A = this chain, B = another copy of it.
């Protein structure tokens, strides 16, 4: 998972906490420790997905573009499209091998399911819930959430037929 994702989340937390303030790329970059041009690029992706509002010109900048309760880690994930589960195959020579094609199809199939499960899981976390959690200092074990998601994954397996 590249840092674009964590920076995007960090920025959205900052924006959600200050709904009335317009941040420019310079001030945001200081807040989240990344280069202003990089902030602009990331914010631009988030704008295209309706997560932030951007405004050009004098006095312009960034502000929250959606309800923090609806701004889930899944939507951010889709906006950034970092594809951490994308399979990478060896550099050369795979194309000619028909056996390899079949292996790749099946693996891609399995990991499409994995990706979908991940997105469903991430959909349970919103910027709002993250902020609330940072405000409570006590942490609870992740078991509960993992258990809930396991049900969904089992449903998915059943639907697409993981085991034979």
Contacts and interface: CB of A to CB of B under 8 A. Distances in A.
Helix, strand, loop or mixed for chain A's interface? helix
Interface in A21-80: 32-34, 49-50, 73-75, 78
A3 B132 contact: no
A89 B6 contact: yes
A109 B6 contact: no
A149 B6 contact: no
Interface in A127-164: 129-130, 132-134, 137-139, 142, 145-146, 149-150, 152-154, 156-157, 159-164
A80 B48 CA distance: 36
Interface of A: 1-3, 5-7, 9-10, 13, 32-34, 49-50, 73-75, 78, 84-94, 97, 99-103, 105-122, 124-126, 129-130, 132-134, 137-139, 142, 145-146, 149-150, 152-154, 156-157, 159-164
Given A113-B145, A132-B164, A137-B106, A94 B156 contact: no
Nearest to A134: B102
Contacts of A125: 110, 162-163
